[in-house]
């Protein structure tokens, strides 16, 4: 098979892990007195540890008019503290042969290092220090703002596919801040200031609002001792900030968004539906959506692939993806690449026919079994990677799920009945709940 790379970069899936970590001993979680939640995921197969701090805030928490501040702050977190001036942390990581990076999502911002296990205390010290010790000057902020603008230019302004994705999100979320790009709108990035960053920092970067994840070759008791030592001394600030975003009203209109650009040689189609997340869904509903995504577009045996690529030959690629790990109502994606000579309206209608047929005829029992097999196996495969486990636990906890939710996920997947999947399809795949996006060359219209 030939997999086309996905056109848009997606945040990590909700799929969490099974009960036992790779070392056989279980996941340990506890809370420090100052409110910091700590999760230890032992895996002793390589003398490496993945150390992550997740803050429960993301681009959806950007104040109005200041889109991009969460992401900008993520960049600025590398600019040094009073105790450790700019570059010292990164140089130290480089010295010990570690890897470091950070990422901003709509609902969380995370910082991580992967280092030799003996270095755990050291990275904790640095990370704990920059939770409250960031020291920013205008001289440092200005060039970094330019860097972010370059990043936006590189990923967006030159890329019609990225522009379409942004437009689709903006049309799907007419009110909720998920409709703004994580990196922010260009005209608002330009006006972000040092004060904006510090205000956001003071509000969200507190121990009560953070989750520490240590995965890899670390003994839970030793990890606890080090966490107490380095993070425990951070004064509690009071309850974690209340994250109340303006919620998306019930959609009533199906939407079509079209981007024409002379750089487009290969048209493509996407659709994004508003759907409940693991946090907002009724019991079993999100699990049903995870299965539905796999049934519809999870590979070459999926429904859309069989119908559109193999039988009707209207598409060369199709896929589906459910972003279940989100704090608020989230996105259920479909995407497809038309076969030569097939117009996007034609493809669009064909996809709707397949979806309607599914809703009318129901879910095939064998297909459901295969989907469950795959998702449950994913949970086992995940145990093989400390970094994967750390990300999955982190994303889940930062978006309102619990450790137990994560660990019992495979059972809940197994328990989903065909009827639930059908109900989820019927409810969530209504045209008016979705935005369709067409990516076209300059001289074609979406007739």
Partner 1 sequence: MNASLANPVAPSAVNVRELLSPRGVRFWLVEDYAVPLASLEFAFGGGAAQDPAGKAGAATLLAGLLDEGAGDLDSQAFQQALDEKAIEISFHAERDHIGGRMRTLKRHLDRAGELLRLALNAPRLDEAPFERVREQVNAQLRREANDPAAMAGRAWRARVFAGHPYGLPTQGSLESLAAIERDELTGLARRLIARGALHIGVVGAIDEKRAAALVDQAFADLPASGDLQAVAEAPFAGLAGVEIVDLDVPQSTIRFGRPAVPRQDPDHIASIVLAHVLGGGTGLSSRLFREVREKRGLAYSVSASISALDHASYLYGGTTTKNERAHESLAVIGGQILDMAHDGLSEDELEKGKKYLIGSYPLRFDTSAKVAGQLVEIQLEGHAPTWLVERNARIAAVTMADARRVAERLFGDGALSVVLVGRPEKV
x-marked contacts with partner 1 along 41-80 as a string, rule CB under 8 A = --xxxxxx-----------------------------x--
The sheet that has 315-322: what strands, in order across it?
Answer: 255-260, 434-440, 268-275, 330-338, 315-322
DSSP SS3 for 255? strand
Q: Which is nearer to partner 1, 204 or 335 (CB)?
A: 335
CB of 320 to partner 1, least distance (A): 15
Q: Which is nearer to partner 1, 93 or 274 (CB)?
A: 93
| Per-residue tokens: 48 | 């490496």
Catalytic residue among 37, 74, 248, 287: 74
Give the sign of the dihedral formed by CA 398, CA 403, CA 409, CA 410: positive
Q: Does 10 bind partner 1 (CB under 8 A)?
A: no
Q: What is the DSSP string of 390-442?
A: HHHHHHHHHTT--HHHHHHHHHHHHT--HHHHHHHHHHH--GGGEEEEEEE-T
Q: Which is nearer to partner 1, 385 or 423 (CB)?
A: 385
Site for partner 1 in 82-101 (CB under 8 A): 87, 90-91, 93-101
Site for partner 1 in 204-243 (CB under 8 A): 216
Q: Does 377 bind partner 1 (CB under 8 A)?
A: yes
CA distance 55 to 72: 14
List Cβ neighbours of 251 (8 Å cut-off, separation of 6 or more): 274, 432, 433, 434
β-pair type (268-275, 434-440): antiparallel
Site for partner 1 in 140-199 (CB under 8 A): 142-144, 146-148, 150-151, 153-154, 157-159, 161
DSSP SS3 for 133? coil
Contact indicator for 37, 232 with CB cutoff of 8 Å: no
Contact indicator for 297, 315 with CB cutoff of 8 Å: no
The rounded Cα 393 to chain-centroid distance in angstroms is: 12
Q: Which is nearer to partner 1, 153 or 225 (CB)?
A: 153
Q: Which is nearer to partner 1, 116 or 446 (CB)?
A: 116
CB of 267 to partner 1, least distance (A): 9
- Please identify, among the stretches 29-37, 193-201, 276-284, 300-308, the one whose residues bind partner 1 according to the rule CB under 8 A: 300-308
CB of 232 to partner 1, least distance (A): 28
Total of chain residues touching partner 1, rule CB under 8 A:
76
Q: Which of 163, 193, 385, 423 binds partner 1 (CB under 8 A)?
A: 385
Site for partner 1 in 302-321 (CB under 8 A): 306, 309-310, 316-317
Q: Does 5 bind partner 1 (CB under 8 A)?
A: yes
Q: Which is nearer to partner 1, 1 or 360 (CB)?
A: 1
Q: Which of 282, 357, 380, 442 binds partner 1 (CB under 8 A)?
A: 380
Concerning whether 100 is annotated as a catalytic residue, the answer is: no
Q: Work out the burial of residue 117: count CB atoms within 10 Å of its CB; fewer than 13 is exposed, 13-18 middle, 19 or more buried.
A: middle
Contact indicator for 402, 20 with CB cutoff of 8 Å: no
**What residues are labeled active site?**
74
């Amino acid at each position: 098979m030939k997999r086309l790379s996905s056109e848009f970069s997606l945040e990590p899936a909700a799929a969490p892990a099974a009960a036992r970590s790779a070392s056989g001993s279980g996941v340990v979680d506890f809370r420090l007195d100052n409110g910091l939640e700590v999760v230890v995921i032992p895996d002793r197969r390589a003398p490496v540890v993945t150390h992550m701090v997740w803050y429960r805030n993301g681009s959806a928490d950007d104040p109005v008019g200041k889109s991009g501040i969460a992401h900008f702050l993520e960049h600025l977190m590398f600019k040094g503290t009073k105790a450790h001036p700019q570059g010292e942390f990164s140089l130290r990581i480089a010295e010990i042969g570690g890897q470091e990076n950070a990422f901003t999502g709509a609902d969380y911002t995370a910082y991580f290092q992967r280092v030799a296990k003996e270095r755990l205390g050291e990275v904790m010290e640095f990370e704990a220090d920059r939770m409250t010790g960031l020291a920013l000057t205008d001289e440092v902020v200005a060039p970094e703002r330019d860097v972010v603008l370059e990043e936006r230019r590189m990923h967006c302004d030159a890329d019609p596919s990225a522009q379409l994705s942004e437009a689709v999100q903006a049309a799907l979320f007419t009110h909720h801040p998920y409709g703004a790009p994580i990196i922010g709108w260009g005209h608002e990035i330009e006006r972000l200031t040092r004060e904006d960053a510090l205000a956001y920092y003071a509000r969200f970067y507190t121990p009560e609002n953070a989750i520490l994840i240590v995965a890899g070759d670390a003994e839970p008791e030793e990890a606890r001792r080090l966490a107490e030592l380095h993070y425990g001394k951070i004064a509690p600030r009071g309850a974690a900030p209340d994250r109340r975003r303006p919620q998306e009203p019930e959609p009533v209109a199906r939407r079509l968004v079209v981007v024409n650009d002379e750089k487009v040689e290969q048209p493509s189609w996407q659709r994004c539906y508003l759907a409940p997340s693991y946090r907002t869904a009724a019991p079993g509903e999100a699990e049903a959506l995870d299965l539905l995504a796999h049934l519809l577009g999870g590979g070459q045996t999926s429904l859309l692939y069989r119908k559109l690529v193999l039988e009707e030959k209207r598409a060369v690629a199709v896929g589906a993806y459910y972003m279940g790990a989100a704090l608020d109502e989230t996105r259920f994606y479909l995407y497809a690449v038309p076969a030569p000579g097939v117009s996007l309206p034609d493809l669009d209608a064909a996809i709707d026919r397949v979806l309607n047929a599914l809703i009318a005829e129901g879910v095939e029992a064998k297909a459901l079994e295969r989907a469950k097999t795959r998702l449950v196996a994913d949970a086992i495969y995940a145990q093989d990677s400390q970094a994967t486990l750390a990300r999955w636990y982190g994303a889940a906890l930062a978006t309102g799920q619990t450790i137990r939710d994560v660990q019992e996920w495979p059972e809940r997947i197994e328990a989903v009945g065909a009827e639930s999947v059908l109900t989820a399809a019927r409810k969530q795949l209504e045209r008016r709940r979705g935005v369709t996006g067409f990516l076209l060359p300059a001289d074609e219209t979406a007739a």
